[in-house]
Structure 1
Amino acid sequence: MSVLMYNEWFLNFAPTTFKEERLKCLDQVIQLSQKTNGFKEISEDLLIAQPSSLKILRMLCAPPIARDRLAGLVNATSATIANIETKVNPNAKTLKKIAPSIIRVINALKDVELFNLNKTLGFPQEQNLKVAEAVISDRLTGALADPKIRNAQEERQLRVIETYLQSKGYVRFDDPEASAIDLPLGTYSFHKNVLMFKNGFDDSNGYVRTPMDVVIRQKIQTTNFHCLLSASQLEILQILTNVGRKKIQKFLN
């Protein structure tokens, strides 16, 4: 049933999200194309003046280059690349220092064939740039739309779980200061970090903080009174055997 619910949601949500994102991306790509003479004039000054253009410049590469890969090639952190792309006013000193390296990488990996389709595929010269803009736009759309779809899917999962838990009489507990083991009886909470043994057996190797998407405390006091679910486990719940489902249901009753 949960798989069918997801399939129905995806068919209704994903295409619309992709189309909306594509229109935004195409507009951004065309604007940058016009500003750079069909992507022929890519410079440090451009990047410094318009840092957010980096997300498009990465899509000019063959293959399109991810933030992490670009960070490695220019000897920067992934956070630095993300800040350049997403912050309204990224650190000017850092940007000025790293811009030459970024532009060198973009120009070195530029998808030359994409801008010469009139030669490789016989396209009319006047259509070449429009086709290239559409391809770059689609690359960017995929990079931006996929995380949105994943995030929306997680929200959908949590809403379904919340509806089910409330039907069983459980109450949401939202105190951000409370740890997972401090939840009152008969409550649940989303997005908690849980301290777990590093070696999986005891505390001889210390602890590690493990993010859990859902933490549930049973209505009655027992030795094992918590149900912890990570994002990957939420997906596993979709294909649980009848025995697995019965165990979850027994835990919640």
Structure 2
Amino acid sequence: MPVNADKPHLWKPDIALSVDFYNNWFMQFAPKAYRDTRIATTQQVESALAETANLTNITPALLGQHPEVLPILRMAAAPPIAQDRLIGLAGVSPNLVKNMEEKQRIPPRADITTLDAELTKISQIIARLLDKDIFPWLESGQQPTDSEVQKAATIVADRLCGAISDPIVRNAQERRQLATIRQWLEQRGYSYVRGGAGLSFETMQPGTFSFRLNIPVLLQSGSKQINIPIDVALAPINSILGEFPLLIEAKSAGDYTNPNKRRKEEAIKMTQLRSNYGNNVRFILFLCGYFDSGYLGYEAAEGIDWVWEHRIDDLALFEI
């Protein structure tokens, strides 16, 4: 029996309460999350400046040894260079740049000759576009003072944080949502189990829950298996070992546009799960923020129910 999906007369007041809940959290906690990230990012920029001799030694060898400095170097340019723009300007492999930025590594099977040529192109583009106003010592040839280095590091860190401000807030919100769910469950006798290679939904003991558990599914062709990451997998206290758990996806949104753009993602997950594990799969959303009637109606039509964070006690209605 649905808990919220079949009650459209409640959607409008719940949407208003959810928006207020998110906005109150944002005003109180988002600035701190941003400041904390900026402090940590400033330290990373200072380390990158030290590794590059304050940007006077940007060489292919250095990029190979410290691939993690690349996003910092992009933000040290005038104008700051987007990842795809750097790939186009330098004429290098997207795989190389994405490995350096997302995995802080050089691609494991990269051809040495090709790699050196591409790192040379990247270093040349960066050196040519460095922001001389932020790093005046590059033109004067003088040794920068500690104050100049600190000021430059702060400016680059602001650029980096500005480019990822939405993910900073989203990640802080996700951590808070999972902590809220964990507290609610532990108060009712559930035990948290850390995920790992040995944990699967079949091995979860009744009365336990885990975060970011991968559920394996075969695609429709049957030739490829993928893992669907689930924010919360919960084995009800009254369940049987091996029984499919309740799956919870934590969702938050600071505007109405993005949720509606991505509303098919949950439906695709539900379809894949049901095609592998049957129509009794229980997959629900834990919502906070801007989710309008269009989004809710779409999810309800796909057989997906939800719990609002401002009414978290509705979780109990899912027989847990």
Superposition TM-score tier, normalisation by shorter sequence: 0.5 to 0.7
Alignment of 1:91-240 (within 5 A): 93=112, 96-106=116-126, 110=129, 115=132, 135-142=155-162, 150-174=170-194, 176=196, 177-196=198-217, 198=219, 207-221=225-239, 226-232=245-251, 236-239=286-289, 240=307
- The range that moved more, 204-213 or 182-191, is 204-213
Alignment deviations for residues 195-220 of structure 1 (CA, whole Å, 9 cap, x no partner):
34645xxx867653200111012222
Q: CA RMSD in A?
A: 4.6
Contact 1:29/1:133 (8 A) holds in 2: no
Deviation for aligned residue 1:17: 0.4
Once residues 196 and 52 of structure 1 are traced to their aligned partners in structure 2, the CA distance between those partners, rounded to angstroms, is: 33
Distance 1:49 1:208, change over 3 A: closer
Once residues 195 and 70 of structure 1 are traced to their aligned partners in structure 2, the CA distance between those partners, rounded to angstroms, is: 36
Contact 2:45/2:72 (8 A) holds in 1: no
Alignment deviations for residues 147-190 of structure 1 (CA, whole Å, 9 cap, x no partner):
66654443332222111001122222346313124322222111
Q: TM-score, normalised by structure 1?
A: 0.63
Contact 2:193/2:210 (8 A) holds in 1: yes
Distance 1:165 1:69, change over 3 A: farther
Distance 1:217 1:184, change over 3 A: same
Contact 1:71/1:81 (8 A) holds in 2: no
Distance 1:251 1:205, change over 3 A: farther
User: Which among 70, 76, 80 is matched to residue 99 of structure 2?
Assistant: 80
Q: Is the partner of 1:168 in helix, strand or coil?
A: coil
In proportion to residue count, which structure has more helix? 1
Q: Is the partner of 1:237 in helix, strand or coil?
A: strand
Query: How many residues of Structure 1 are paired with residues of Structure 2 in the alignment?
Result: 228
Unaligned runs of 5+ in 1: 118-128
Task: Tell me the amino acid that sits aligned with residue 211 of structure 1.
Answer: P
Structure 2 residue 35 is matched with structure 1 residue 16? yes
Distance 1:175 1:208, change over 3 A: closer
Contact 2:201/2:244 (8 A) holds in 1: no
Unaligned runs of 5+ in 2: 1-17, 135-147, 253-283, 290-306
Once residues 209 and 103 of structure 2 are traced to their aligned partners in structure 1, the CA distance between those partners, rounded to angstroms, is: 38
The structure showing larger relative contact order (alpha-carbon pairs under 8 Å, at least 6 residues apart) is 2
Q: Is the partner of 1:100 in helix, strand or coil?
A: helix
Contact 1:186/1:218 (8 A) holds in 2: yes
Deviation for aligned residue 1:65: 3.3
Alignment deviations for residues 218-237 of structure 1 (CA, whole Å, 9 cap, x no partner):
22238x85221234379852
Once residues 105 and 195 of structure 1 are traced to their aligned partners in structure 2, the CA distance between those partners, rounded to angstroms, is: 43
Distance 1:167 1:7, change over 3 A: farther
Alignment deviations for residues 103-124 of structure 1 (CA, whole Å, 9 cap, x no partner):
244356x26xx5469xxxxxxx
Once residues 241 and 156 of structure 1 are traced to their aligned partners in structure 2, the CA distance between those partners, rounded to angstroms, is: 14
